[in-house]
Structure 1
Amino acid sequence: MIPRYSRMEMRQLWSREHSYSLWLKVELLALEGMEAIGKIPSGTTEIVRSRATVDVERIAVLEAQVHHEVIAFLTSVSEQVGIEGRFIHYGMTSSDMLDTALAVQTCEAIDLLLAEIDDLTNTLRQLAEEHRGTLCLARTHGRGAEPTTFGLKLAGFFAEFRRSARRLAEARREMAVCKLAGAVGTYATIDPRVENFVAAALSLTPETVATQAVARDRHASVMTGLAILAGAIERLATELRHLQRQEVEEVAEGFSATQKGSSAMPHKRNPIFSENLTGLARLIRASAMPVLENIALWHERDMSHSSVERVALPDAFSLCDFALARLSGIMRGLEVRPDRMRANLDAMRGGFASQRVLLSLIDAGLSRERAYAMVQQAAARAVDQGMTFRDAALLEPELTTHISVEEIDVATDPACYLANVDFIFARAFAEL
């Protein structure tokens, strides 16, 4: 991923240096496991550990010669170690090392994302509580519906991101597997006790039934988790973009004193960061499909998954990490405009009360069909003649014979729509 859309910690986690360091860690633990069961001479691991280092440049030179990255890595380490190097990778196949190291690397990346989600949800909860009672207009199909609160909007996003966190935590559990079972997973050349030893040391679980490789449904579970997380990021970003439209203006992204909105129009203050997140979410989701297609490998293993994972996993994780950090920054600096929210609500002229008046008429004994027609006619009159819904309703003689003016007044009071906000908040934040 280009530096513009990645952050240092995640970028370093997916670097070749870190990958090779995990490869070496797996190989050293395998040596230690074999030594523990008496398969190789005592003291071998200590000698190898004291001499072996990761030499990225040497590995690159060797790979250009042998066209096999794992052999290049093993050759580089063996050159440093000496005669004890003959036990490195003993009885193992490339995927034993690669898949086990990738499991650790992926779990590390998920842990970074979970910390970012925690930061975001903490901000969302704080804002939700602050605006628990801040009235605003809910919209369906892009049109005014009924009153809600800005805090309630944010509580919904909070709950969605907590679901993403749980989903990623479960994907992490599925991904945290170790495979040291030899060429086609039969343990014909390596003792299962070695795998158990390495798995315990790395906080992994041995793969249930391995072929030459760990089953790729595990990796697909991680990627679908990232894709759904991207959807959550985009949904909040899209909401923020709509709320910043000129005719809405209920929120605004932070805008620094030196920031410019347009190269041509100095008056512009554009929602560029929310728009950026929408684009990044598309890239993240695009990475999921090739990883899903990796599930169907040939027989005990082919290599078609390798190129996909080298690109898709680092890019998707880097983009998610960057996007979460950017979204947290947007929310911390968000300018919320309660006065504008109330003005947009008032611009409905009470039309949002149509359902409550409808229900009052039903309670009074009218059929739903007749009540609906009466209320719809009043709502249309209000729009056509530029009057309030209350006044238009009072012009419907049949309507006022069934419900009182007081009932209409209650229905058109936005505050009466908030009776259960506290109940919803209690449920949304119950897990905390």
Structure 2
Amino acid sequence: MNTLSLIDSPFFGASFTDPEMRSIFDSGAFIRRCVETEVALARAQARLGMIPAEAGLGIANAANHHQFDLERLRRETEIVGYPILPIVEQLADAAGQAGRYLHWGATTQDIMDTATVLQVRAALDRIDRQLTETMGALRELAKAHRATPMAGRTHLQHALPITFGYKAAVWLSALERHRERLAQMRPRVLVVQFSGASGTLASLDDRGLAVQEELARILELATPAITWHSSRDGMAEAVQLLALICGSLAKLAFDTSIMMATELGEVSEPYVRHRGASSTMPQKRNPISCELIIAAAKLVRQHAGLMLDAMVHDFERATGPWHLEWAAVPEAFALTAGALSQAHFLLSGLEVHQERMRANLDVSRGLIVAEAVMMALAPITGRQTAHDLVYAGCCRALETEQSLFEVLAGTPEVAAHLGLKRLHELTEPTNYLGSAQEMIDRVLGGAKAGQPADRA
């Protein structure tokens, strides 16, 4: 089948999303969610005595058995501009006399919005599970490499020593916050949309709110305080969260791809024959999962911006902004699911080359812990003097290609105050890890800022 979209491509689609998320948002799923909403509305109105009970049953029975003419649906949607009227016409015909009561008091956006909310609920469940899986892989890395020393880098240069477990725990902490945001967001997003033509439910007299509440109860959604069909912050928030998740995944993917550089060689993506291979260079093992995650993050970021534009609805029903959501919402969820799948694959099988981490840590011959010497010397000489002495030592070490220990051991102003044994301890990178391991324990224990870690 010929396709236009990256997500639907038979070549690239499987790399950018996952089958479950695809099934949540495909065109057939959307039709089913629209029908589910129509059936729930008929049930609600039948319970409240607004339509005959047998009409509600008839509509439900028709929905269970009717096979839509998709070509007719496509053709009529093109004419109408929306799929709801064509869906209602086919389903009403299938329901016979009961069809007279289908779509009672509703408008197109009521059905489409509620159908989308049902899709988003299932999609958030999927994202939540994927976050949990990815976080599990990061937890294992943080535990396994709690004490694996490596160079911490700022501005792409050696800064101070860290451990690889610390790096993994930093990545993990971001996903922990996103999972918390997801839970907090649900009540604001998973809200029924049923409000009629201008949002006042006028066609249902004084029973409109009762229908809205019963519809929400049947669909297990929240009831809004007031109509939200032209106030789109909830949908926009959902996509902003997806962009945040992808941003954090892209950060770890970018770190990993740089660490895979030949000159560093500190990690490798999981080995699968020919994965990351070059068509011309046999030695290549490219960071394919990292590249896919970074690309997905950029695409989702564009959808997040699009959703901010989609918030600007004119009056009580917009002329165009709503349509932006039809692309941004399903594609953002699809791409985020794909990024999480790639991240889980990457992290659960990541090859960590501890010997290269140690070699890279030592490449500066102790300069990476110059701060440790300076801070030990500062109480004796004063901080600025200590800084100047160690800075001068660092310059000489670079010029002479000696280790920092060798240079400072021959610097009386330093060696006399600290002694050679202490100086040797200070210039060993693994002695200057600060609170990195305790921070890892706090993250793994589920502690938040200002709270003690669970030591049980």
Q: Normalising TM by the smaller chain, what interval?
A: over 0.9
Q: Does 1:12 align with 2:23?
A: yes
Give the letter aligned to residue 419 of structure 2. Answer: S
Between 1:193-202 and 1:250-259, the stretch displaced more is 250-259
Give the letter aligned to residue 439 of structure 2. Answer: I
With over 3 angstroms needed to count, the CA separation of the structure-2 counterparts of 1:234 and 1:73, relative to structure 1, is same
Q: Does 1:156 align with 2:156?
A: no
With over 3 angstroms needed to count, the CA separation of the structure-2 counterparts of 1:173 and 1:146, relative to structure 1, is same
2:383 maps to: 368
Question: Contact (CA 8 Å) 1:96, 1:179: kept in 2 or not?
Answer: yes
With over 3 angstroms needed to count, the CA separation of the structure-2 counterparts of 1:152 and 1:303, relative to structure 1, is same
1:73 maps to: 87
Residue 432 of structure 2 aligns to a residue in which SS?
helix
Give the letter aligned to residue 70 of structure 1. Answer: I
CA distance in 2, matches of 1:260, 1:385: 41
2:75 maps to: 61
Q: Does 1:337 align with 2:348?
A: no
1:195 maps to: 212
Report the TM-score when normalising by structure 2: 0.90
Between 1:306-315 and 1:253-262, the stretch displaced more is 253-262
Question: Contact (CA 8 Å) 1:124, 1:331: kept in 2 or not?
Answer: yes
Give the letter aligned to residue 291 of structure 2. Answer: E
1:414 maps to: 429
1:181 maps to: 195
Residue 59 of structure 1 aligns to a residue in which SS?
helix
Question: Contact (CA 8 Å) 2:166, 2:437: kept in 1 or not?
Answer: no
1:27 maps to: 38
How many pairs does the alignment contain? 430
Identity of aligned residues (%): 28
1:250 maps to: 266
The CA deviation at 1:260 is 6.2
Q: Does 1:295 align with 2:295?
A: no
The CA deviation at 1:201 is 1.8
2:450 maps to: none
The runs of 5 or more residues in structure 2 that have no matched partner are: 1-6, 447-453
2:232 maps to: 216
CA distance in 2, matches of 1:430, 1:260: 36
Give the letter aligned to residue 220 of structure 2. Answer: S
Report the TM-score when normalising by structure 1: 0.95
Question: Contact (CA 8 Å) 2:369, 2:432: kept in 1 or not?
Answer: no
The CA deviation at 1:150 is 0.7
Alignment deviations for residues 342-370 of structure 1 (CA, whole Å, 9 cap, x no partner): 11111121112211111112111x23221
The CA deviation at 1:259 is 4.5
With over 3 angstroms needed to count, the CA separation of the structure-2 counterparts of 1:257 and 1:41, relative to structure 1, is closer
With over 3 angstroms needed to count, the CA separation of the structure-2 counterparts of 1:403 and 1:64, relative to structure 1, is closer
Residue 331 of structure 1 aligns to a residue in which SS?
helix
For 1:108-187, what aligned pairs fall within 5 Å after superposition?
A: 108-187=122-201
Question: Contact (CA 8 Å) 2:146, 2:164: kept in 1 or not?
Answer: yes
The CA deviation at 1:277 is 1.7
The CA deviation at 1:153 is 0.6
CA distance in 2, matches of 1:390, 1:143: 20
The CA deviation at 1:375 is 0.6
Question: Contact (CA 8 Å) 2:147, 2:437: kept in 1 or not?
Answer: no
2:297 maps to: 281
With over 3 angstroms needed to count, the CA separation of the structure-2 counterparts of 1:67 and 1:363, relative to structure 1, is closer
CA distance in 1, matches of 2:53, 2:291: 60
Give the letter aligned to residue 58 of structure 2. Answer: I
Give the letter aligned to residue 219 of structure 1. Answer: M
Alignment deviations for residues 130-154 of structure 1 (CA, whole Å, 9 cap, x no partner): 1111111111111111111111110
Question: Contact (CA 8 Å) 1:21, 1:54: kept in 2 or not?
Answer: no
The CA deviation at 1:2 is 2.2
Give the letter aligned to residue 120 of structure 2. Answer: T
1:350 maps to: 366
CA distance in 1, matches of 2:305, 2:425: 52
Q: Does 1:233 align with 2:249?
A: yes
The structure 1 residue matched to 2:108, chosen from 60, 69, 94, is 94
Alignment deviations for residues 153-203 of structure 1 (CA, whole Å, 9 cap, x no partner): 101111111112222232333110112222122121232111111111222
The structure 1 residue matched to 2:288, chosen from 272, 278, 282, is 272
CA distance in 2, matches of 1:336, 1:291: 39
Give the letter aligned to residue 51 of structure 2. Answer: I
> What CA RMSD, in Å, does the superposition of the two structures yield over aligned residues?
1.7
CA distance in 1, matches of 2:77, 2:157: 60
Between 1:371-380 and 1:200-209, the stretch displaced more is 200-209
Residue 145 of structure 1 aligns to a residue in which SS?
strand
The structure 2 residue matched to 1:207, chosen from 214, 224, 247, is 224
Give the letter aligned to residue 37 of structure 1. Answer: L
The structure 2 residue matched to 1:48, chosen from 30, 44, 59, is 59
Alignment deviations for residues 269-293 of structure 1 (CA, whole Å, 9 cap, x no partner): 2222212221121111111111111
Question: Contact (CA 8 Å) 1:138, 1:145: kept in 2 or not?
Answer: yes
The runs of 5 or more residues in structure 1 that have no matched partner are: none
CA distance in 1, matches of 2:80, 2:273: 56
